Amino acid sequence: MKDMYAFVQPYFKWLWDWSIAHYPESLILVIPLLYMVYRVLLYLRLYITALGPYRGMSTKIYKVVDGDTILVNNPLRRKRRYKVRLIGVDAPESLRSLYQNVAPFGAEASQYVKKRLYKGRRVFLYYDKEPRDKFGRVLAYVYLSNGEFLNATLVKKGYAFAKRYPPNVKNAPYFEKLERKAISRKRGLWQIYTPDGNLKASYKRSQDYKNFKRAHNLG
């Protein structure tokens, strides 16, 4: 990366000098150009730092499973997929399994992630201490090509709980800070969940909850 910055530095200097000499007309050209250069450098930074085998990978979305689990393409084997569990977040369940029932706000969380991670979208995965869990899933922090930290976005907007999964806790304090703000602003799931992660009594008495249980045969 340092070599890349050293390479482009003379061109930035020339562009700066030209902009000063032709101000203010130069703004029409320079501002879009600088924005384009910024996006290219950001993309290259994400791509290069993800290439290390112990750092992560650059890949594309194949499918969203639920609010905190995705399938991505194997960069080296086209027909193989990796199941990826997002680190540090826990979205309400949107799919029934042997271990858990569907939970309120699970469908909303899943739909939000599906909207953001459409098939074929480029993402950058970064590992923490352990790259896989006992189920063989890749454990990762997910970044979009514009630099957005998706794990953090889910907590910030109230689509997932912040949850520690030792030893992968590098960003846990940051996620917990975002969660406190989301709770105070009653964003997303915090409209129906208490700060300790249980459903609010008022929601349990509501017609919405009765309809939810009926729809999912929860008794």
Which DSSP string do the residues of 114-171 spell out, in sequence order?
HHHS-TT-EEEEE--S-SB-TT--EEEEEEETTS-BHHHHHHHTTSSEE--BTTB-TT
Catalytic residue check, 137: yes
How many other CB atoms are there within 10 angstroms of residue 212's CB atom? 19
C-alpha 156/C-alpha 110 separation (Å) is 15
176 carries an active-site annotation: no
Structure token digits, residue 45: 């930074």
Catalytic residue among 55, 122, 137, 164: 137
Is 93 labeled as catalytic in the residue annotation? yes
How far from the centroid of its chain's Cα atoms is residue 146's Cα?
11
End-to-end CA distance of the chain: 58
- Using CA atoms, how far apart are residues 219 and 213, in angstroms rounded to an integer? 6
Q: Phi-psi bin for 188: left (phi > 0), alpha (psi -120 to 50), beta?
A: left
Active site residues: 85, 93, 137
